[in-house]
């Protein structure tokens, strides 16, 4: 299996020297192609910080990391942006759908940003709407949806461009069990279908049990070595 993501002694400190917070300390692990990896840890343990770094949203204070063997530190800002837009999908706890856009438009948006042709966009979005049982909600706005439907739209938006890496920050935290399970199953199916690697922060035992492997964070440090 090829390595998708490799972290080598990543640390992150927030704030200035005097009152700085160490959010991550000496984190190393690898994520292979198609792997479904859980990051477990209590609130404040550094999960979101770690995901933001892996998703190229934030920079580490120390350490190296590699996407498909390329050192992220060596990439220019615009190369990172391109990577993030093209190859990484994000699923957030609060979905962060665009309120003024319909379900269809929210899902189509990443393809629009990537310059995909309109005909292709229509085809891909319609297909995914069907797969995810959202066909009848295509013209609705996020505020008109249930929590479970919003989560499905969030998952669809993250997966529409078939990213190599999907990053999910507590995707089931605001959902009841039934909807959380359905969302997870969907991620799993698409993981098998497209071979995307998943990095999922969660403290939901059900989610963690359904991942290939888990790593545990405590106070910014890895508890058990993977
Ligand atoms: N932007 C920030 N500025 C300062 N401290 C932060 C910032 N983001 C997170 N932290 C701190 O870093 C630590 C880890 O936070 P976070 O990564 O959000 O953990 P988790 O997602 O596991 O709850 C916490 O102590 C938090 O207060
Ligand atoms: Mg968090």
Beta strands in 78-219 (DSSP E): 88-91, 165-169, 197-201, 213-218
Average pLDDT, the chain: 90
Task: For 200-218, write each residue's pLDDT tens digit.
Answer: 998 888 888 889 999 999 9
Q: What separation in Å is there between the alpha carbon of 129 and the centre of ligand 2?
A: 28
Task: For 182-197, write each residue's pLDDT tens digit.
Answer: 778 878 887 888 889 9
Vertex 213, ends 150 and 192: CA angle to 5°? 55
Average pLDDT over residues 17-25: 90
Task: For 26-59, write each residue's pLDDT tens digit.
Answer: 999 999 999 999 999 999 999 999 999 999 999 9
Write down the pLDDT at residue 86.
Answer: 92
* 177 against 12, higher pLDDT: 12
Q: Looking at the CA of 170, which ligand is closest?
A: 2
Write down the pLDDT at residue 174.
Answer: 66
Tracing tokens 């991942």 back to the chain, one arrives at: 211
Report the C-alpha gap between 102 and 96 in whole angstroms: 13
Q: All domains of the chain, ordered by start, with CATH?
A: 3-222 (3.40.50.300)
Q: What separation in Å is there between the alpha carbon of 210 and the centre of ligand 2?
A: 20
Pocket, ligand 1, Cβ cutoff 6 A: 14-15, 21, 23, 41, 43-49
Q: Which pTM was predicted?
A: 0.91
Confidence band of 226 (pLDDT split at 50, 70, 90): very low
Q: What is the DSSP letter of 161?
A: T
| Pair 100, 143: CB distance under 8 Å | no
Nearest protein CA to atom 3 of ligand 1, as residue = 14
Nearest protein CA to atom 7 of ligand 1, as residue = 14
Instruction: Report the percentage of the chain scoring pLDDT > 90.
Output: 68
- Residue 97: which residues within 8 A CB-CB, separation 6 or more? 106, 142, 150, 153, 154, 157
Task: For 70-96, write each residue's pLDDT tens digit.
Answer: 999 899 999 999 999 999 999 987 778
Tracing tokens 């508890």 back to the chain, one arrives at: 223
Specify the 3-state DSSP secondary structure of 10: strand
Nearest atom, ligand 1, residue 14 CA: 4
Report the C-alpha gap between 47 and 182 in whole angstroms: 23
């Amino acid at each position: 299996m090829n390595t998708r993501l490799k972290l080598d002694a990543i640390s992150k400190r927030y704030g200035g020297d005097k009152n700085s917070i160490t959010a991550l300390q000496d984190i190393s692990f690898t994520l292979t192609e198609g792997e479904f990896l859980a990051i477990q840890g209590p609130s404040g343990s550094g999960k979101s910080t770690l995901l933001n770094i892996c998703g190229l949203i934030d920079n580490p204070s120390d350490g190296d990391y590699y996407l498909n063997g390329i050192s992220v530190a060596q990439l220019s800002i615009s190369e990172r942006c391109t990577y993030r837009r093209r190859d990484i999908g994000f699923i957030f706890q609060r979905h962060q759908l665009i309120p003024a856009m319909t379900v269809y438009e929210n899902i189509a948006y990443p393809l629009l940003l990537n310059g995909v042709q309109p005909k292709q966009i229509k085809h891909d979005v319609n297909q995914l709407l069907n797969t995810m049982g959202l066909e009848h909600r295509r013209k609705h706005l996020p505020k008109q949806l249930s929590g479970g439907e919003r989560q499905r739209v969030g998952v669809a938006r993250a997966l529409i461009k078939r990213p190599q890496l999907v990053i999910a920050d507590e995707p089931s935290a605001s959902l009841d069990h039934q909807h959380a399970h359905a969302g997870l199953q969907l991620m799993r199916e698409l993981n098998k279908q497209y071979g995307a690697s998943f990095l999922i922060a969660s403290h939901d035992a059900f989610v963690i049990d359904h991942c290939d492997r888990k790593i545990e964070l405590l106070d910014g440090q890895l508890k058990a070595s993977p």
